[in-house]
Structure 1
């Protein structure tokens, strides 16, 4: 059975599309307008949470983008994009993978909500400023690491780079890349130049409802 992915342009489902392209797996993408639970209510019959991304592979259903990356790499044994428990950097691999959402993307969702999603009277400039600073502060270890590494772990491009790369891309979409350290900006540019990223980033663009406000998960 073909892997099915429900996707909104520039949302966290970009991580999964990017990974699928890098892995060269067969998949079917269902591109939706953002936010899907309001713009396409039939999606609630597929995913009762109404969130994007949503991945279905046979009887397996996933709602978390980083879990999807690890699932695909493990299930389909895509060794070039993963590290195994026997690798000395396996702990770092997992840490970068999960840090991408828990530490990097979390503050950006607040910046996005209170600068773009909320009505004018509910926007919160102080929240936007505070969590923009929060995000930049959380890049400290990444900035240090990229001074001596081309990729995050294992001396190769992995799904950890996809996960963290999307977080940096979201920061770029929010204009925070002007504060990126040179090595971090170069790292993101290198990731965005990959053919798989370019192809994945074009999918669903024609039905996007917003320019900036489509970026985060619903």
Structure 2
């Protein structure tokens, strides 16, 4: 199994999941954007996005989908909520929501604050999509009102997928506008040993 990763990009979801599961894998840490700065990457992933997970004949490129795949392929694991468990629907919903609802508006903020040259940056779009993202965090804030994790009464792949969105918000400076439960959730999960191992591995890969 091989994971193509850029530091602190959405591929961190997949790397963290691999570390939580203890699955042996090869990690390739690439400069960003890999489509332009990592020779041959477009032949692996024609979209040029990260992550890419290669597992034998299987290639996956969606970060939350990779979390789901890894949980299914390594079942039974407490990181997975199985069909038939009470919170299975919530679990699937959080996995999809993590990227489609939470990370998507952040990509607009990232693009128009950091990736575009100064003359093409759009402060109004940045603020509009920041508000969009922060308003959707109400679902996280509500879910954590009476529990430590999002669903199932335990830490799962849903937490990995959603927590990354909060972590990305921190790198974009949006965390200063988080409400208390979201802020606490962000900090608590950053203390997990597997999260810290994932970030240590990416740092070592950047130095290699």
> In the TM superposition, what are the counterparts of 1:160-171 in structure 2 within 5 Å?
160-171=158-169
Shift of residue 188 of structure 1? 0.9
* Gaps in structure 2 of 5+ consecutive residues: none
Correspondence for 1:56:
54
Cα RMSD between the aligned structures? Answer: 1.4
**TM-score, with normalisation over the residues of structure 2?**
0.96
Q: In 2, are the aligned partners of 1:145 and 1:152 still within 8 Å (CA)?
A: yes
Which residue of the other structure, out of 38, 44, 47, is the alignment partner of 1:46? Answer: 44
User: 2:46, 2:172 → 1: CA distance?
Assistant: 29
Correspondence for 2:117:
119
Shift of residue 53 of structure 1? 0.3
User: 1:33, 1:206 → 2: CA distance?
Assistant: 13
Q: In 2, are the aligned partners of 1:23 and 1:78 still within 8 Å (CA)?
A: no
Tell me if 1:145 matches 2:143.
yes
Shift of residue 49 of structure 1? 1.8
More moved, 33-42 vs 115-124: 33-42
Correspondence for 1:9:
7
- Tell me the secondary structure at the aligned position of residue 6 of structure 1: strand
Shift of residue 40 of structure 1? 1.4
Correspondence for 2:84:
86
User: 2:25, 2:73 → 1: CA distance?
Assistant: 14
- Tell me the secondary structure at the aligned position of residue 41 of structure 1: coil
Correspondence for 2:133:
135
| Greater than 2 Å deviation, 4+ residue runs | 202-208
Relative contact order (C-alpha < 8 Å, sep 6+): which is higher? 1
**TM-score, with normalisation over the residues of structure 1?**
0.92
User: 2:200, 2:164 → 1: CA distance?
Assistant: 14
Q: In 2, are the aligned partners of 1:192 and 1:198 still within 8 Å (CA)?
A: yes
Which residue of the other structure, out of 24, 29, 32, is the alignment partner of 2:30? Answer: 32
More moved, 82-91 vs 71-80: 71-80
Count of matched residue pairs: 207
Shift of residue 125 of structure 1? 0.1
* Gaps in structure 1 of 5+ consecutive residues: 209-218
> In the TM superposition, what are the counterparts of 1:60-71 in structure 2 within 5 Å?
60-71=58-69
Q: In 2, are the aligned partners of 1:9 and 1:203 still within 8 Å (CA)?
A: no
> In the TM superposition, what are the counterparts of 1:178-193 in structure 2 within 5 Å?
178-193=176-191
- Tell me the secondary structure at the aligned position of residue 48 of structure 2: coil
Shift of residue 76 of structure 1? 1.5
Q: In 1, are the aligned partners of 2:28 and 2:205 still within 8 Å (CA)?
A: no
- Tell me the secondary structure at the aligned position of residue 80 of structure 1: coil
- TM-superposition CA deviations, 1:83-121 (whole Å, max 9, x none): 011001100000111100010000000000011100111
